[in-house]
Amino acid sequence: MGLYTYHSIYLASQSPRRQELLKQIGVQFEMLTAEPHEDTETLEIPIPHEKAHDYVKRVTLAKSTIALDRWTKSKRPWAPILCADTTVSLPSSIAGEILGKPIDTADAVRILEMLSGKVHEVLTAVVLLVEPNSQPLYVVQVSQVAFSHLSSEQIATYIASGEPFGKAGAYGIQGLGGAFIPTITGSYSGIMGLPIFEVSQLLDHAKVARI
């Protein structure tokens, strides 16, 4: 196989944004998504007093363990397995240490009001299982995102669009939420959910081909 050991990977995520970013850097992949009986939501419940960095690393490593078991049961040929998880943190606020996906409209309002006019962090952990029995490779990428001051009307209109739901921090930088962000420091793709520079380094280490 020349310079490469693998010509594709498994992506253990249903996120369309992560799929788009992998395609952007020429990575061939197959989906390795959760089975109906798997309770992945429970993994995302923070442990009391858990810091955002520890949280996102723990959740992603746990997801990789589940994904490996999923691959084992599938009896499909081996390829490296990529997992990722993203969270938003307002480190200056105890209540905002970990801001996950809003559970309802009121929760989305709470989160967006906390972020309004402040700089917060977006943390994305990436785990790559190179071999079934090898130690996972992982990285946690952290970016800083500035939010403009949001009025109650802006928040209500944004929530009515439906975009905040299913997204950590109740917003998507690649969508309507991008209009609230004057500056970022870090990785735009990491804020979207998959830091392509760090992912590329992991894939190169694992000798995964790219188009």
Cα–Cα distances (Å) from 186 to 23, 53, 125, 192, in that order, read 21, 16, 14, 12
| Residue 91 and residue 97 in contact, taking contact as beta carbons nearer than 8 Å | yes
Q: Which of 85, 104, 107, 204 is catalytic?
A: 85
Amino acid present at 209: A
Q: Which of 136, 144, 129, 146 is nearest to 183 (CA)?
A: 146
184: Cβ–Cβ under 8 A, 6 or more apart, which residues? 143, 144, 145, 146, 173, 191
Cβ 192 vs Cβ 17: under 8 Å: yes
Q: CB–CB of 13/20 below 8 Å?
A: no
104 is annotated as an active-site residue: no
Which residues are catalytic, by number? 85
